[in-house]
Amino acid sequence: MTLTMAKQYTIGELISLSAGYLESKGCSSARLDAELLLGHVLGLDRLDLYLNFDKPLSSREVDEYRQYIGRRGQRVPLAYLTGQREFYSLPIHVSPDVLIPRPETEFVVDKTLEVLEAGQPANILELGTGSGAIALALACQDPLFRITAVDVSQEALKVAEANAKRLEVDSQVVFLQSDLFENVTGTYRVICSNPPYIKRDELPRLSPEVQTEPALALDGGPDGLEFYRRILGQAASLLEQPGFVVLEIGWDQGPDVRAIGEKSGFTWLETARDYSGKDRVVVFQWA
């Protein structure tokens, strides 16, 4: 983004210029991104930005903002630039080592809570925790929950552990490096996961933003179902009776994942839809 450095820009001018630049680079929410990045640089929320619309900015502030806008124009995800994404009303810190939490993944938390008894202790296993978003959202809902959160990536676990300490729920969550169940012991009332479910040959066609996220967290194998077969093929031996499995799925994978679960001996309870009306979470019971 080219700016005339002799000019003293106001907040409003910078937002307008930056939104136009980001739109030209293919960013779908250009103005919102411009606002959020300027708020990040200045330490202001969106309301404060508009209350100070005519405030001129220093050359240092403009220079810092221009660097952020330049990287966003290169399609680096907004959450990686600000280092944070809200999930279940919690501030989750993220880095390029972890998948950015999506709003639809909140349905995994909702459905897990539905199969648990309120006010009763429960052991929960989350597979592929990434930033820790699901595990930490569950921990924040009930101090009686004890969660084991696993990930194959040590770098992701460092991010998740830091989030747990920041949210002061680290006493409820044990983080474990494991390829799914490999290093897991004990039994659990619920096993939940947002596993990789993108078909491998579709990865190159994803948006530039998504392609910057860890491939390990996206690649679901040739048909996108590899992790469902692995999880549902092994989960029963670690479940209490009754026990439950709650899995996020791709919008077109509901029938296939249901079939995989039933073939493994599970009772299908529900395929829940997300905010767009698309299949998003499958719930199974083991009894």
Q: What is the pLDDT of residues 239-269, one digit of tens each?
A: 999 999 999 999 999 999 999 999 999 999 9
With a cut of 70, say whether residue 3 has pLDDT above it.
no
Q: How confident is the model at residue 181 (pLDDT cuts 50, 70, 90)?
A: very high
Residue 279 has pLDDT above 90, yes or no: yes
Residue 24: partners with Cβ closer than 8 Å, 6 or more residues away: none
What are the structural domains, with CATH classification, of the chain?
11-74 (1.10.8), 94-286 (3.40.50.150)
pLDDT of residue 118: 82
Instruction: Tell me: cis bond preceding 91? Omega within 30 of 0 counts.
Output: no
Backbone angles phi, psi at 235, to 5 degrees: -65, -35
d(CA 107, CA 113): 10
Q: Is the pLDDT of residue 201 over 60?
A: yes
Confidence of residue 85 (pLDDT cuts 50, 70, 90): very high
Q: What is the pLDDT averaged over residues 204-231?
A: 96
The rounded mean pLDDT for the chain is: 95
Compute the average pLDDT of residues 29-49.
Answer: 95
For 12, other C-beta atoms within 10 Å of its C-beta total: 14
Residue 8 banded pLDDT, cuts 50, 70, 90: confident
State how far the Cα of 268 lies from the Cα of 262, in Å rounded to an integer: 7
Work out whether strand 267-273 and strand 279-286 pair parallel, antiparallel, or are unpaired: antiparallel
Is the model's pLDDT at 1 over the cut of 70?
no
Main-chain phi, psi angles of 240, to 5 degrees:
-70, 170
Average pLDDT, integer, range 76-100: 97
- For the whole model, what pTM was predicted? 0.93
How confident is the model at residue 145, as a pLDDT? Answer: 97
- Average pLDDT in the 14-24 region? 96
Scanning 7-144, the segments in alpha helix (DSSP H) are 11-24, 30-42, 46-51, 59-73, 78-82, 106-115, 133-141
Instruction: Say whether pLDDT at 66 is over 70.
Output: yes
Q: Tokens at residue 144, please?
A: 């009686």
Question: pLDDT value at position 6?
Answer: 55
Averaged pLDDT for residues 157-169: 98
